[in-house]
Amino acid sequence: MTFSARHLLGIEPLHPVEITTILDLADKYVDLNRQPNKHGDALRGLTQINMFFENSTRTQASFELAGKRLGADVMNMAMQASSIKKGETLIDTALTLNAMHPDLLVVRHPHSGAVDLLAQKVNCAVLNAGDGKHEHPTQALLDALTIRRAKGRLHRLNIAICGDISHSRVARSNLILLGKMENRVRLVGPPTLMPSGIGEFGVEVYEDMAEGLKDVDVVMMLRLQRERMDGGFIPSEREYYHRYGLDAEKLAHAKPDAIVMHPGPMNRGVEIDGDIADDINRSVIQEQVEMGVAVRMAAMDLLARNLRAPKDEGVYV
Ligand code: NCD
């Protein structure tokens, strides 16, 4: 199995074998993370810088823990207080940091494509921690690992991604990954929250939750991304919850053993009923968080091996 990528900018460029390679290594890190001694040395001596230009709780915390558990020196840049506020461009900030010889740069940015641009300017490995509405590759990988462990496989599953699709990088990365692994993905939500022309991408699109959830194995809920909305996309939160909020009645249309997912942060009573989110027999939301640390350890480990490998040679794992 080969993993030859220099950066992790999105799911789009990954081959299914590379996806499987990351997930297999992540499984090993799940075991390590459950031990009292959680230390590995895959990143020993390396410097990891986290640059988050957008708010984050779980993604930033899990990248930080992942780096620390593998022995990297981890620095979190306080981007709110950085020179960006003084007018410095993203690229100048990146070049400044690049001169300090980081090995891994973890970047979240509100603009789609900003992380790709930055990756072209620096010498280290860049990991996309979410860029605008574009991609959030480690989220899709942690979701894939969660599904694979809960269902015992990651192919030929029926998966519904529900809610605010059009503003969601999580939906986009998941759609690409789950498609590559040969699952049937449905999108469910109001037409105002569907990207235009989505029907041409070979996915089934539903406006009605009862129809969209019928017999699915996985129900993936999304947050209403209000920070990316500039107008009235939904009538009211109450109305939205009534039609699209996941409650027991709507979930009853899915398979009896269907799992419920949410990338967080979740708005209880808006896109999901609190009791469903907390139901340990259905919800795998906490497992997603656990898998997040392991997947980020695996991704950074593989990228670090490529940093150390002679140029143009992927590593064999
Ligand atoms: C997601 C994101 O930032 O795109 N959150 C996350 O990384 N766990 C989804 C969201 O913000 O709703």
Atom index in ligand 1 nearest the CA of residue 168 equals 4
- In tens digits, what is the pLDDT along the chain, a chain of 317 residues? 578 899 999 999 999 999 999 999 999 999 999 999 999 999 999 999 999 999 899 999 999 999 999 999 999 987 776 666 666 788 888 899 999 999 999 999 999 999 999 999 999 999 999 999 999 999 999 999 999 999 999 999 999 999 999 999 999 999 999 999 999 999 999 999 999 888 777 799 999 999 999 999 999 999 998 888 877 777 788 999 999 999 999 999 999 999 999 999 999 999 999 999 999 999 999 999 999 999 999 999 999 999 988 665 666 55
The per-residue pLDDT for 94 is 87
How far apart CA 275 and CA 26 sit, in angstroms, is 30
Annotation-wise, does 34 bind a ligand? no
List the residue whose alpha carbon is closest to atom 7 of ligand 1.
Answer: 59
CA of 265 to the centre of ligand 1 (A): 7
Q: Which two structure tokens, joined as six digits, stand for 15?
A: 């081959």
**Whether the CB of 134 sits within 6 Å of ligand 1:** no
CA of 312 to the centre of ligand 1 (A): 33
The per-residue pLDDT for 196 is 86
The per-residue pLDDT for 199 is 73
**Whether the CB of 172 sits within 6 Å of ligand 1:** no
With CA atoms as reference, report the closest residue to 263 among 116, 165, 125.
165
Contact indicator for 138, 104 with CB cutoff of 8 Å: no
What is the Cα 30 distance to its own chain's centre? Answer: 17
The residues assigned a catalytic role are 58-59, 86, 108, 136
CA of 71 to the centre of ligand 1 (A): 26
| Those residues with Cβ within 8 angstroms of residue 113's Cβ, 6 or more apart along the chain or in another chain | 131, 132, 134
Q: What is the pTM of this model?
A: 0.95
Annotation-wise, does 58 bind a ligand? yes
**Whether the CB of 264 sits within 6 Å of ligand 1:** yes
The per-residue pLDDT for 225 is 87
The per-residue pLDDT for 145 is 99
**Parallel, antiparallel or unpaired: strands 158-162 and 73-77:** unpaired
